[in-house]
Amino acid sequence: MKTRTKAAVFALALLASAGCGTEAKQPDFPDLNPVKGVVTRSGRSVSGGSVRFTPDPAQSDFVVNSEVGTDGTFSLTTVRTTDSKGERKPGAPAGKYKMTYTPPLGDQATGGPTGPVELPTPVMVKVGDNNVTVDLPKK
């Protein structure tokens, strides 16, 4: 084999192996606590949407969120922001959070809330089981 051909084969092999085993180490999940709750407005459960709990102060390693059921209930899960496989674990780390509720698109189309609603007061997640009632401000 000529030197030029050997160099080309080596270069191709190097390029092919460049993507192998280079996945960055994912951060370990912190201790998570079960968080279930209900979203209400004026004492009545909302129907659908999603909630996002943003740590205060903000951290970029994890997203804590949940879909909201038609009965207003939710159960938080935590996912790594850098996880390409989307591994989710139930619960949330203990701490203080800003909570944002996003109504379902159908509500927005029928003149309902037009965008996300951030709760004016923080929500605390404590070590252990958490049951949270989130009462949104009136429209």
Q: In the chain, how many domains are there?
A: 1
How does 45-69 read in b/e, with b if 16+ C-beta sit within 10 Å? ebebbbbbbbbeeeeeebbbbbebb
Structural domain contains residue 5: no
**Residue 16's pLDDT is what?**
44
- Residue 9 domain-assigned (yes or no): no
The answer to the question of residue 3 being in a domain is no
Contacts of 96 (CB under 8 A, 6+ apart): 55, 56, 122, 123, 124, 125
**Structural domain span for residue 54:** 35-136
CATH code, domain carrying 68? 2.60.40
How high is the pLDDT of residue 111?
57
Torsion angle of alpha carbons 73, 43, 63, 93, nearest 10°? Answer: -90
pTM: 0.75
Which tops the pLDDT comparison, 111 or 58?
A: 58
Residue 9: pLDDT band with limits 50, 70, 90: very low
| Side chain identity at residue 88, one-letter code | R
pLDDT over threshold 80, residue 132:
yes
pLDDT mean over 48-57: 93
11 domain-assigned: no
Q: How many residues does the chain have?
A: 139
Task: Give domain status of residue 101, yes or no.
Answer: yes
